[in-house]
Amino acid sequence: MHRIASPHVRRLASTIRFPQTRRRSLTRTPRYLHWKPPMPERHFVKYTFLKVDPAWRRQDPDRRAADKREFLAACEDFGAERLLRAFSTVGTRGDCDLMLLSQATNLERIHEFHVVLSQSGLMQWCSVPHSFLAMTKPSEYSDESRLEVRPKHSKYLFVYPFVKTREWYRLSPEERYKVMQEHIRIGREYPQIDLNTSYSFGLDDQEFVVAFETDEPAAFLDLVQRLRTTEASAYTKRDTPTFTCVATSVERALSALDGAPLPDALSLSP
């Protein structure tokens, strides 16, 4: 004889939902076919320009060598796993002597590197007259990859901050794309010049940092002069200061500061 459940029990039972057994399809796509390669990571990019106090050059040679070794050690530690390039501006700029280009996938690494760098003896004699922080992102106007700075170890790097006018941003995306195609077409007429663009919106005072790499300064001069005639140039608000940087190793950039080579030092190759 079956026992009749009370109304309370029947109401409770009606609220219970048992999981349904899923029938396994014999034609299910193997899981590995759904795998997608990870998207390339964006990078933070930092351009740090240093000026050495002339009084440092009057220090004892051993003291100067020790200061440079500490600076070099900080650079080698960061550069062991991340991009770090050194450039000398001795003879090309009057307001700075050396530039470090550092890159990392997170801002903490950039911060930590500069904290360690500031503890070196040399940095006690240095000022930072210029500093540009930026980040990589895909270009709106080109299919070229812009997710990381890809230096090709040319002899020279030409760097400047860049700001567009507000009128530029009031153009429609279609109009901006059309205007930039002329700019891009002219740039591609100079294959000996490689462009690395990074973006600074909200991160620093400029909107972009552009870095042109080449072995031929004359070709870069001609390119910039031609770009002045394009429609896109009319929307430029600021594109100075401009830095002509000589690619070198960290060790040689340090040696250029006082003309004294650093003996028995391992260095990052240019």
Is residue 11 in a domain?
no
Per the CB < 8 A criterion, the answer to whether 149 and 134 are in contact is: no
Question: Could you tell me the two tokens for 190?
Answer: 């100079």
User: Facing residues of 52 across strands?
Assistant: 126
pLDDT tens per residue, range 109-161: 999 999 999 999 999 999 999 999 999 998 888 776 555 666 667 999 999 99
Amino acid occupying residue 33: L
Is residue 109 in a domain?
yes
Q: Find the domain containing 238 and state its range.
A: 44-258
Return the higher-pLDDT residue of 1 and 234: 234
Q: How many domains does the chain have?
A: 1
- What pairing do the DSSP bridges indicate for beta strands 243-248 and 83-88? antiparallel
Question: Could you tell me the two tokens for 155?
Answer: 């002899």
CATH number at residue 180: 3.30.70.3420
Is residue 38 in a domain?
no
Is residue 21 in a domain?
no
Q: Please state, as a whole number, how many other Cβ atoms lie within 10 Å of the Cβ of residue 225.
A: 9
Is residue 9 in a domain?
no
pLDDT above 50 for 265:
yes
Is residue 77 in a domain?
yes
pLDDT tens per residue, range 64-103: 999 999 999 999 999 999 999 999 999 999 999 999 999 9
Which residues, including other chains, have CB under 8 Å from residue 55's CB and lie 6 or more apart? 125
Is residue 129 in a domain?
yes
Q: Please state, as a whole number, how many other Cβ atoms lie within 10 Å of the Cβ of residue 87.
A: 25
Is residue 76 in a domain?
yes
User: Facing residues of 98 across strands?
Assistant: 50, 88
pTM, to two decimals: 0.82
**Cα 45–chain centre separation:** 2
Question: Could you tell me the two tokens for 201?
Answer: 């919106």
pLDDT, position 266: 47
pLDDT tens per residue, range 32-72: 444 454 556 899 999 999 999 999 999 999 999 999 999 99
183-to-144, 208, 227, 230 alpha-carbon distances in Å: 14, 16, 7, 7
| Burial class of residue 120 (count of CB atoms within 10 Å of its CB; 0-12, 13-18, 19+) | buried
Task: Look up residue 207 and give its DSSP letter.
Answer: S
